[in-house]
């Protein structure tokens, strides 16, 4: 997966639950993109893609609101679980019925 | 400072514009509204004539004005704007954005009554209702104070321990349009007083990537808000230091609160803005009659200078609070509730008698203030510790 890591400071701030005196002022986040926010751990469902059935139409790729669908080297859809929030839009829009939403158990 | 002082005749609005010209902010985004108009008009003249280096953004509303100021301030620019009444109310949403994102914007308010009924004259309600917006808030009594507070506001707002927006108010027409004697400062004096570039901890910068205005929910919101309260507490000390420094530079005494003949006073007036001038005039009259009267002017309203006020008022029997702002169904006038919270449970505190007056530019005459004084004495004599009245209106 192409996930880039957030800077140490941000990782520590989240892990250690920093308070008012340590956090940057004014809610500024010293990081520039969604790469640092692993929104995938919010989800109750995950997209499970059957690459045999995938017809490479890329519907799921375009419909995914979190850009969590990645096309692999064979142009088959793949789910980036680090960012998949489990909304199921890809599954609804798949003409080949290749995407199944599976409940995540933690 | 040299013995020579330069003196000019200016209205309150002009004083603000000329002081802002000396500061030479990077960005001014403003929308004209009576009685603030002259500030924006004069300042746009300076921009047009090339007398300042400011980018002037003529926006389509006050909501946009403050939004543009926030954006500009986040790039590290020194930003100034001005408004009044309905304009300030329209800015209200963005006032919280400006303080929440820690933008040290300076805002001149030409205090004016709220609609309806529509009215363009002086009243401080507009600024008073912004007291919880985490803005440092000052009031000025005269064109001179408008001039001085314009310059001081930048220094308070931009202090690294504060980084909060600052507003200062002068009453519509009474101060904004009255021609007064103003002692001016030189460009050099202001340049020495204010740092050339304002400090920034975080700002839009292609080399230092950051997210501004991010979504902050239950898990971090309160921490970010708590930072603002700490900054406000710092602002109290910073304002005190800045005023002391300004006093030394200009030769004009600037303090968080101004005491007038309070040392041996038994009864006192507490007021802010232009009303303070009248209160002082009445104190002189009463002193001539043998009354032990005094007056306290509150310059800094947020953060509220509790310590100074307690010190100034301890030992006084009763105070008349002259409050030129409206509040309805409240336990006291806006200033009175602040005073009551500051003094409650402390030793030697006066009884508090609030008087809502002067709404919509209604004149509060000196004899009326003398009547208020007598009324307060009567209330005190019969043992009332806190009263609130409206004065100067017709009831039948």
In a domain, A72, yes or no: yes
Q: How far is B265 from B316, CA to CA, in rounded Å? A: 6
A24 touches chain B (CB under 8 A): yes
**pLDDT by residue, tens only, chain A of 106 residues:** 344 556 677 778 878 889 999 998 888 887 656 666 778 888 899 999 999 999 999 999 999 998 999 999 999 999 998 889 999 999 999 999 999 999 988 6
| Residue A66 domain flag | yes
Which chain A residues are closer than 8 Å to B223 by Cβ?
Answer: 18-20, 23
Chain A residues touching residue B209 (CB < 8 angstroms): 30-32
State whether the Cα torsion B89-B232-B342-B296 is positive or negative: negative
Identify which of A86, A89, A80 has the alpha carbon closest to the alpha carbon of residue A104.
A86
Beta carbons of B211 and A29 less than 8 Å apart = yes
Q: Is B364 helix (H, G, I), strand (E, B) or coil?
A: coil
In a domain, A98, yes or no: yes
Nearest Cα of chain B lies from the Cα of A17 at a distance, in angstroms, of: 9
A54 domain-assigned: yes
pLDDT by residue for chain B (396 residues), tens digit each?
A: 455 679 999 999 999 999 999 999 999 999 999 999 999 999 999 999 999 999 999 999 999 999 999 999 999 999 999 999 999 999 999 999 999 999 999 999 999 999 999 999 999 999 999 999 999 999 999 999 999 999 999 999 999 999 999 999 999 999 999 999 999 999 999 999 999 888 887 888 877 778 888 889 998 999 999 999 999 999 999 999 999 999 999 999 999 999 999 999 999 999 999 999 999 999 999 999 999 999 999 999 999 999 999 999 999 999 999 999 999 999 999 999 999 999 999 999 999 999 999 999 999 999 999 999 999 999 999 999 999 999 999 999
Q: Report the distance separating Cα B331 and Cα B356, nearest Å.
A: 12
Angle between helices B85-100 and B221-250 (to 10 degrees): 110
Residues of chain B contacting residue A18, judged by C-beta atoms under 8 Å apart: 223
Same topology between domain B6-250 and domain B257-390: yes
Could you tell me which of B361, B364, B334, B340 has the C-alpha nearest to residue B352?
Answer: B340
- Chain B residues lying within 8 Å of A27, measured CB to CB: 100-101, 213-214, 216, 220, 224
User: What is the domain partition of chain B in residue ranges?
Assistant: 6-250, 257-390
> Chain B: which residues have CB within 8 Å of chain A?
100-102, 163, 201-202, 208-214, 216, 219-220, 223-224, 226-227, 230
Q: What is the domain count for chain A?
A: 1
| Fold annotation for B257-390 | Rossmann fold (3.40.50)
Phi-psi region of A37 (alpha: psi -120 to 50; beta: other; left: phi over 0): beta
CATH number at residue A49: 3.30.70.20
Best mutation target, A13, A25, A31, A32, to test chain B (most B CBs within 10 A): A25
Q: How far is Cα B362 from Cα B357, in angstroms, rounded to an integer?
A: 8
| The CATH fold of domain B6-250 | Rossmann fold (3.40.50)
Q: Residue A58: inside a domain, yes or no?
A: yes
* Contact list, B210 vs chain A (CB under 8 Å): 28-32
- Which has the closest alpha carbon to A40: A99, A84, A98? A84
What is the pTM assigned to this prediction? 0.87
Its sign, for the CA torsion B285, B291, B297, B301, is negative
Q: Using CB atoms, pick whichever of A21, A25, A31 lies closest to residue B211.
A: A31
Instruction: Please answer yes or no on whether A31 and B226 come within 8 Å at the CB atom.
Output: no
Q: Which SS3 state, helix, strand or coil, does residue A69 take?
A: strand
Q: Which of B127, B129, B119 is nearest to B173 (CA)?
A: B119
Q: In terms of residue numbers, what domain contains A60?
A: 40-106
């Amino acid at each position: 997966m192409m996930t880039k890591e957030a800077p140490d400071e941000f990782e520590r701030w989240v892990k250690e639950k920093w308070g008012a005196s340590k956090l940057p002022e004014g809610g500024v986040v010293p990081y520039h993109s969604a790469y640092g926010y692993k929104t995938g751990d919010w989800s109750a469902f995950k997209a499970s893609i059957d690459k045999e059935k995938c017809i490479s139409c890329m519907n799921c790729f375009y419909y995914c609101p979190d850009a969590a669908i990645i096309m692999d080297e064979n142009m088959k859809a793949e789910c980036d679980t680090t960012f998949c929030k489990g909304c199921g839009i890809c599954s609804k829009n798949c003409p080949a019925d290749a995407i199944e939403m599976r409940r995540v158990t933690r | 400072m040299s013995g020579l002082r330069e003196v000019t005749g200016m209205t309150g609005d002009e004083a603000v514009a000329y002081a802002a010209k000396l500061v030479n902010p990077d960005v001014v985004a403003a929308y004209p509204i009576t009685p603030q108009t002259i500030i924006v008009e004069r300042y746009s003249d300076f921009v047009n004539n090339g007398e300042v280096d400011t980018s002037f953004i003529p926006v389509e509303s006050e909501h946009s004005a403050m939004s543009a100021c926030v954006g500009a301030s986040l790039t590290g620019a020194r930003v100034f704007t001005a408004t009044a009444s309905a304009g300030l109310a329209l800015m209200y949403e963005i006032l919280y954005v400006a303080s929440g994102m820690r933008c040290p914007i300076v805002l001149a308010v030409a205090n004016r009554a709220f609609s309806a009924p529509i009215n363009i004259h002086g009243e401080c309600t507009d600024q008073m209702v912004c007291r919880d917006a985490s803005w440092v808030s000052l009031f000025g009594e005269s064109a001179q104070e408008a001039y001085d507070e314009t310059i001081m506001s930048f220094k308070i707002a931009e202090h690294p321990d504060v980084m909060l927006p600052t507003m200062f108010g002068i009453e519509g027409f009474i101060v904004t349009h009255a021609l007064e004697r103003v002692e001016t400062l030189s460009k050099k004096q202001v340049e020495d007083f204010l740092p050339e570039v304002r400090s920034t901890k975080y700002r839009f910068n292609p080399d230092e990537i950051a997210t501004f205005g991010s979504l902050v929910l239950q898990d971090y919101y309160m921490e970010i808000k708590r930072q603002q309260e700490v900054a406000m507490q710092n602002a109290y000390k910073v304002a005190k230091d800045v005023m002391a420094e300004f006093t030394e530079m200009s030769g004009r005494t600037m303090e968080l609160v101004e005491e007038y003949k309070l040392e041996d006073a038994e009864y006192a007036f507490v007021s802010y803005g232009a009303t303070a001038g009248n209160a002082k005039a009445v104190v002189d009259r009463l002193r001539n009659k043998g009354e032990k009267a005094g007056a306290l002017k509150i310059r800094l309203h947020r953060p509220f200078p509790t310590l100074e006020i307690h010190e100034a008022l301890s030992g006084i029997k009763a105070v008349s609070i002259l409050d030129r702002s409206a509040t309805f169904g409240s336990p006291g006038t806006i200033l009175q509730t602040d005073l009551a919270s500051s003094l409650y449970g402390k030793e030697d505190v006066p009884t508090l008698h609030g008087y809502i007056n002067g709404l919509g530019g209604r004149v509060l005459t000196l004899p009326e203030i003398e009547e208020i004084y007598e009324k307060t004495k009567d209330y005190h004599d019969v043992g009332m510790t806190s009263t609130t009245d409206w004065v100067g209106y017709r009831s039948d």
